[in-house]
Structure 1
C-alpha cells in the first residue's frame, strides 16, 4: 500500500485524481439538476434532435442485464468498484498524457454511475437524441466520459503509442 501512496504523491497521478474528481462532480451536478427539474413523465425539448428525459437504468450499459433487486444492485456496485480500482492502478501507471486522460474519463464516469446505483438503486439517464421516430438510447454525462475515455485510450495506443509522455 505504501508503494501505491508514493505513486499518488507524484504530480501526474495527483492531476489524474483531480480530473476524476471534477468529472464525478460535473456528472453528479447534472443528475441532481435533472432530478430537481424533470419528472419521470416529462420530456423537455432542448433541440429538434435532443430532449431531456428522466430514465432510471437498473442494468448496465444501455439497460442490459437489468438487476433492479438488492442483490443485483450490490453485485453491479461491487463489480463496478473492482473494475474502477483496476483502472485507477492503470491510470497511476500510465506514462502518456492521453492514456492517463482516457483512464480518468472512464474512472470519473464509472464512479458517477456507481454513486447513482448505491444511492438510488439505478443510474440516472437523461440525454435523449432522436430523429423523427427513431430514438437513440438515453444516457448521461458519465456514459459520455466512459465512451470518450475508451476512444482516447484506443487512439493513444494505435496512433500515439507513448509519444505523449509526461516528460515531453
Structure 2
C-alpha cells in the first residue's frame, strides 16, 4: 500500500468519524430533536432535518425500496471510488477520494440506521428584510465537497496537471 493510499484511507476514516460523532452527539447528547432550531450565530443555526433523497433533497423517497436502491447506488459508488483511490498516484487525489468515500459512508450509515440522512447545519443571511438560506447539510456533505475540490485542484492545477501536454 502506497503512502498516498494510506493518506486517502486516513482521510476517509477521519471524515466518517467526524460525521458520525457530530450526528450522534447532536441527536442523543444535545437532543436537537427536542430543542428545535438553535441559533449559534446571526448567520448559522443548528436544525434537525431528515433527507430521504440525495444531494439537495433530489429523488426524495419514503419507500423502503427507494431507500434500498439509494443504498445500493451509494455502495457501488464507494467501491468504484475505492478502486480509483487505489490506482491514484497523488496525495491530493487520494485524500480527496478518501474524503468523498468517508462522507458517502457516513450518509449511508444514516440511511441504513434511520431511513434518511441527518442534516443539521444551516447558514443563512438576512438582507433587506429577506432571509436567504443555504441547504441544510452535515459534515459528510462537507467532506464530499472538499474531496471534489481536491480532485478538481489535482486535475487542473496540481503537479500532474502541470506536466500534462
Q: Does 1:154 align with 2:121?
A: no
When normalised by structure 1's length, the TM-score is: 0.88
Aligned match for 2:90, one of 96, 99, 102: 96
Count of residues in correspondence between the two structures: 156
Does structure 1 conserve the Cα–Cα contact (< 8 Å) formed by 2:4 and 2:95?
A: no
Q: What 5-or-longer segments of structure 2 have no aligned partner?
A: none
Aligned match for 1:24, one of 16, 29, 37: 16
Deviation readout 1:78-119 (Å, 9 max, x if unpaired): 100000100011111110111111101110110000000011
Paired residues for 1:106-145 under 5 Å: 106-132=100-126, 133-145=131-143
Name the stretch that deviates more: 9-18 or 149-158: 9-18
Specify the alignment match of 1:3 in structure 2: none
Moved over 4 A (4+): none
When normalised by structure 2's length, the TM-score is: 0.89
Does structure 1 conserve the Cα–Cα contact (< 8 Å) formed by 2:155 and 2:161?
A: no
Specify the alignment match of 2:3 in structure 1: 11
Does structure 1 conserve the Cα–Cα contact (< 8 Å) formed by 2:122 and 2:133?
A: yes
Does structure 2 conserve the Cα–Cα contact (< 8 Å) formed by 1:95 and 1:162?
A: no
Q: What 5-or-longer segments of structure 1 have no aligned partner?
A: 1-8
What RMSD over aligned residues (CA atoms) do the two structures have, in Å? Answer: 1.6
